[in-house]
Amino acid sequence: MSQYLPNLRHLDLNNSINLIKMPHFGEFPNLEWLDLEGCIKLVQLDPSIGLLTKLVYLNLKDCENIRHLGISASHSQSTTSSILKRTMLHGLRELDLSFCSLLQIPDTIGCLYSLQGLNLGGNNFVTVPSLGELSKLEYLNLEHCKLLKSLPKLPSPTCIEHGLYKDSLLALETRWCNGLLIFNCPKLDERECYIRMTFSWMIQFIQANPHSFPDSLDVIQIVTPGSEIPSWFRHQSKGDWIRIDRSPIMHDNNNNIIGCVCCVVFSMAPQFRSRKYPMRLIFTADICSQKLTKSGTIIPVNLYGNLNTVKSNHIWLTYFPLESSWDVSNQTLYVEMERGEDLGIEVKNCGYHWVYKEDLQEFNLTMMNHRNSLAGKRKSLTIEDQEAQPQQKLHSYI
């Protein structure tokens, strides 16, 4: 017997292993938050989910048997796309479709214009449709997409809406980091255009949010295939640590430095372990000859050993705004692993680069001038060589 529940706003059914089908969503029209993670027998979502005009969070992670979503993905050619066109889920902000064994993501996912976080990791699709219209997208996860052969068109980032979830049930949910996670996609070869695309996205994100971000949103993280630190990182070192020189901060009388980008190159070999160990990028300071951990962040990708089947090299990029809770000046950048040897992880290089205000404009100008030039043999282009911008400092990775 159906029951009308107009006051229901938060519905958590995660790991309901005997749930096969959801009821008609018209029974709770004001639902904002729906968690169905781990419902392994769920085979479909009723198309009436389109009635949930207030839905902002939907988690379908590990719903490996779902066939009819009524939202934005399918295992095969089906009616999912047409269903999406009829939905009214334009207020959806967080969507997790990870590890659902999906073979296809329809083009109509680009209609979810309010989407800020999208997790498509661990699926079996070959391509992802253009995401260029999702201007509010802050987080895209494509980790462990073993068949992915190309990256989608990315949107131009806009300003983060501070305090977005204040006094909302969504405040209960752990927020994602800002950034792009393209990790362990073995068919996505290390193309220079992809590396350049991700760096460009990061710079655009910083441009849109030049000041420190609120609380947990004050860093940007990118993980992408790569084996070399870009040449515009002036400070590089082999191994897992490098001393950060704070003299540019001391001489920055005009407050032109807005942040610091840290870069780590690491390799990962297949090690079939079931447990997960964190990999941390931390900062230490020497006080009275004792190292004191000051701050740090954990790599935001899933490092479970049984998911990594080929040896691979990746770049881990993290941007720290200068005026934030992360103090990166006068410290040592150090990469710390807990039992990393059990996952076959090796940190090869690390580096950092102070980001100046003028760098943001110069980087994008160079990217625009050279976005059609992919055949050059040089891996970097010094901006000082450009006659139109003789005073520029940043090197663009091409």
Task: Give the span between the Cα atoms of 157 and 134, in whole angstroms.
Answer: 9
Out of 29-43, 152-166, 214-228, 327-341, give the one with best mean pLDDT: 29-43
On whether the CB atoms of residues 226 and 315 are closer than 8 A, the answer is yes
On whether the CB atoms of residues 24 and 70 are closer than 8 A, the answer is no
pLDDT in tens, 331-352: 788 898 876 566 678 899 999 9
Angle between helices 357-370 and 192-208 (to 10 degrees): 140
CATH topology assigned to domain 1-176: 3.80.10
pLDDT at 370: 43
pLDDT in tens, 381-397: 332 333 333 333 433 33
Task: Give the span between the Cα atoms of 96 and 74, in whole angstroms.
Answer: 14
| 3-state helix/strand/coil string of 246-304 | CHHHHCCCCCCEEEEEEEEEEEECCCCCCCCCCEEEEEEEEECCEEEEEEEEECCCCCC
pLDDT at 350: 95
| Arithmetic mean of pLDDT, 370-387 | 37
pLDDT at 288: 54
On whether the CB atoms of residues 169 and 33 are closer than 8 A, the answer is yes
Q: How far is CA 61 from CA 99, 217, 289, in A?
A: 6, 23, 47
pLDDT exceeding 70 applies to what percent of the chain?
A: 71
User: Would the pTM count as exceeding 0.75?
Assistant: yes
Give the pLDDT band of residue 204 (cuts 50, 70, 90).
confident
pLDDT at 31: 95
Q: Which two tokens stand for residue 346?
A: 């090796």
pLDDT in tens, 248-298: 888 888 888 888 899 999 998 876 665 667 788 888 876 555 666 667 788
Burial tier of 246 (Cβ tally within 10 Å: 0-12, 13-18, 19+): middle
Helix (H, G, I), strand (E, B) or coil at 104: strand
CA R_g for the chain: 22
Strand 178-181 to 279-287 pairing: unpaired
On whether the CB atoms of residues 31 and 59 are closer than 8 A, the answer is no
